[in-house]
Structures are given as structure tokens and as C-alpha cells.
Amino acid sequence: MVIPIPNSSSSPELEVNDLTALRSQRSGEGLALNQRYLNRQLGRVLQTLGFDREWVRGEGPYLIDSTGGRYLDLYAGYGVFALGRNHPFVKQALHELLDSNPPSLPQLGVSGLAGLLAERLVQLAPASIDAALLTSSGTESVEGALKLARAATGRTRILYCERGFHGLSYGSLSVNGNEEFRAHFGPFLPGCEAVPFGDLEALAAAIEPGDVAALIVEPVQGKGVYVAPDGYLAGAQELCRRSGTLFILDEVQTGLGRTGRFLALEHWGLDPDIVTLSKALSGGYVPVGAVLTSRAVFDATFSSMERSVVHGSTFGGGDFAAGAGLASLMVIEREALVDRARAMGDLLMELTLPLVERFEVVRAVRGLGLMWGLELGPPSGRAARRVWEAVEHRQPGLFAQLITVPLFRDHQILTQVAGHHMNVIKALPPLTIPEQELHRFAGALEQVLTGAESRLLRAYASLGLGLGRRALRAR
Ligand SMILES: Cc1ncc(COP(=O)(O)O)c(C=O)c1O
């Protein structure tokens, strides 16, 4: 079939019958197309920060641009590329699956691959888990978890943590502890209440009336990279158990080896009622997620033949998603990536923890496994502090961009700021990252921090205020 593409000002009308030809004929138009048809404010941010490269390929931990520049990708697509990009084993498995013409999504029928993925996930999860609901994203897993929790308990209240992030669809947004994501979208699901992360007393008080369906919490909060304090998660699980509240661990980001255990919950020996997964399960290829539950919780929703399709979605459990999930689990096992994440995480911490002593602006380095964050704070000198405050007044969290921008521009390393209005730099390296690249990252970070500190006033005043002005203009 020939599909005419509507004319754009920069390119002639094109008849498309070959995807490869289309990509090559329209190469270099990515940003222009984005600005015309997609998210133009994001495009402005990329241009302002100088992140507007034209990416042409992904190879393991690297993104490659149109000039051949190789960038170390410590953003990893928000954690999707735990195996690196285009892992050869997953690629081969998906090629074979494509060539086998699988009977994906029969709907009134079952697929063997979905069952095999569910079986493997249950085997790898704690004893409390014996069933899985397959989804296509993190937020969809969270929506499923919230619905199952209400159905299983017959209660409506749901507790979530301040700063918690669980996705951006309405249920997930209703348990999102970051105001900047919620503004303009209310009202939210009734019955959802925030509790401070790490505060067992506050949790006990909120749970006390005995009408809470579930607590949802990330073992390591992605926004800001905050690891649950010692005793918090075990204590929270215990409080939930005592009051018939379901304990939901959102492992969409922390799951599948990221923290140095297959599931982060293993660090604390937890036995939750529900675990949500997604991101890395995709192998970086096919969106997939899972809600892992006890059989009792699962069956409370799917409680009769009449209710057998009461929750789900068209794409949940498709053969390509399940195949990508199974192949990714095989890679994690074959390449011992959980142990590798632990060892590389220890190394990254060892290389970067001394930065706290070395640099006044580095307040903390924290994380678990290969989920890593570095928090910046104002320097103590009065003049420098005043400029910091001026920069932060213009746009809170701007200082962190003064580190991520030169890391990208001068060292070809892609990192992220760990949330709105926070001066935390975050890295989610692929679990396959070569050891020497961690050394290179630590060295680059030290150089950038040295530059920032030695040119403190000048850097703050010119780059900081310049960026601030441009950012304000871009709003
Ligand atoms: C802990 C957690 N839960 C849920 C989500 C939402 O996942 P998705 O973006 O696939 O909807 C995210 C995404 O970053 C996440 O980190």
C-alpha cells in the first residue's frame, strides 16, 4: 500500500512504501517534526540545554548521533534499557518470534508465552506472590494494583508517600506525591492521602481507623533517589498486615536487578501483597508490565466467570511483549546482571562518595545498586550563596543543570535531574555498563564539579542566570 505523507514545508511530498527509505529520506527532520506535530515545549527545553542531538542508533550503553558522537546513556530511557540498547539476545529472540507468526492476543483464548512469563515472574517473586496480571506500562500496572486492592478489601482509602511517583494516568496521578505533576489536573480519585516517606508514626496514625485498602510505596523513590530508611518498609508491611491493608511495592523502576537484587524488596526480606513491574522487563523493545499478587487478591477481582474480563486491556499479555519479557529475564540470568548491578553499584558509590568531602556544593551521594543520585546544595560563602539563591529563585533546581549540561556537552554523558525543583543528579546506568565507563563518569563528574566550584561566581552569574532567563522565556 502506498501512503501519501502530507506535505511539510521542508520536504517534498513523498510516497512511502518502504520504512527504511522513509527513514533515510527524512533523516535530520526529527526536531522539526517534533516541533510541528509533537511536544514543542519539550523541543524548546532540549534546544535550551543543548540536548537536541539527532540520534541515529543505540548500541549497549551508548546513543550515537548523526555526527558519529557516542554518548554514554546513564538516563537509560528512565530505566527501560537495563540490558543496554538493542541487546543481541533479545533482538534474536524477537526476530525468531516474528518469523514464527505467533497467534498473539487471541482474546477469547490464551497464549502460551503469557503463561510462561507469568510463571517465571511468580517463581522469581517472594512466597506471597502466586499470580500475575500482564500490562503494557508502569502506570497501567499501578492502575491494576489500585483496582485489585479496592476490590480485595472492599475499602476505598489508599495511602501513598510524599514525593512518590507511580505514573501519570488518573489513578496513578491520584497517588503521585509531586505537586508539579498534579497541578491543573484535579480533582483526583477520592480516598487517596499522602503520608511522609519513612515516617512509621504518621503511617500508623493514617492506617489506624482500619479502612485503608492499600499503601503504595517505592522501595527507592525515583524522584530524588531516596532509599527507604532502615526499618521503614518492614514496619510499614507489619502495620498493613495488622490492619488488613494491602502492601503494594511499586518496583517499576527498582525491579529486575536495578538495585542489586532481582527485586529491591529482597534487601529487606519483604513479602508484599502486590508488586508492580514494567520498564526493564521490555528488554528495551516491547512495552510490557506486570501486577504480581497473591492468588487471594487476584481472585477477589476475577471472582466469577461473569467477572473474568472485569479488568485488563487489549494489549496485555501479547506474544511480543511476553517474549521480550521472557528473553529479558533470560539475559538477566545468563549474564548474572543482578550480581553485576550490585558490584557496579558498589564501585560507583566508592568512586563518587568522596565527592561529598571534596566539594562544598555536593551534599550527599546516595542510592542502591545502579540507582544513583548526587544532591547539590548552596555553598557556604556569602557571595556564592547569594548568587546560588538568585539562580534558584529564578528556577528551583537549575543548579543541577549546570552539572548535567557540561557532562553532556563536554564529556558525552547523558544524566538527568532527578525531579522538578530539586538539585539532584540521577543516573540509572544499564546493568551491562562497562566498568571503565563508571570510572570515566566519576572522573568527568569531578572535572565538571571542579570547574563549577573554581569558577563559582562567574559560572553562577553568567551560565546560571542566562539559563534561567532562557528557561523563563521558554515557559
Ligand atoms: C516507580 C514508578 N512507577 C510507575 C511509573 C510509571 O511508568 P510508565 O511511565 O511506564 O507509565 C514509573 C515511571 O517512571 C515509576 O518510576
What are the backbone dihedrals phi and psi of residue 328, each rounded to the nearest 5 degrees, phi first?
A: -65, -40
How far does residue 172's CA lie from ligand 1's centre (Å)?
9
Q: pLDDT 10s digit of each residue in the chain, 475 long?
A: 444 444 444 454 556 689 999 999 999 999 999 999 999 999 999 999 999 999 999 999 999 999 999 999 999 999 999 999 999 999 999 999 999 999 999 999 999 999 999 999 999 999 999 999 999 999 999 999 999 999 999 999 999 999 999 999 999 999 999 999 999 999 999 999 999 999 999 999 999 999 999 999 999 999 999 999 999 999 999 999 999 999 999 999 999 999 999 999 999 999 999 999 999 999 999 999 999 999 999 999 999 999 999 999 999 999 999 999 999 999 999 999 999 999 999 999 999 999 999 999 999 999 999 999 999 998 877 777 877 787 777 777 888 988 999 999 999 999 999 888 889 999 999 999 999 999 999 999 999 999 887 766 565 555 455 555 554 454 4
Q: Indicate if ligand 1 lies below 6 Å from the C-beta of 139.
A: yes
Helices (H), 306-397: 319-334, 337-352, 355-358, 382-394
* Interval between CA 87 and ligand 1 midpoint (Å): 22
Interval between CA 468 and ligand 1 midpoint (Å)? 29
Strands 424-427 and 371-376: antiparallel
pTM of the predicted model, to two decimals? 0.93
Q: Are 398 and 464 in contact (CB under 8 A)?
A: yes
Q: Which fold has domain 53-86+338-474?
A: Aspartate Aminotransferase, domain 1 (3.90.1150)
- Side-chain-facing half-sphere of 78: CA atoms under 13 Å: 14
Terminal CA-to-CA distance of the chain, rounded, Å? 42
Domain ranges of the chain: 53-86+338-474, 89-334
Under 8 Å between Cβ of 157 and 212: yes
What fold does the segment set 89-334 form as a domain? Aspartate Aminotransferase; domain 2 (3.40.640)
What is the bridge-based pairing of β-strands 131-135 and 289-293?
antiparallel
Joined grid coordinates for residue 356: 561529598
- What is the distance in A from the centroid of ligand 1 to the CA of 168? 8
Residue 441 in contact with ligand 1 by CB distance below 6 A: no
Rounded CA separation 380/441 (Å) = 27
Q: List the residue whose alpha carbon is closest to atom 10 of ligand 1.
A: 138
Are 213 and 149 within 8 A, CB to CB?
A: yes
SS3 for 278-289 is: CHHHHCCCCCCE
Q: Sign of the CA dihedral 152, 153, 157, 161? A: negative
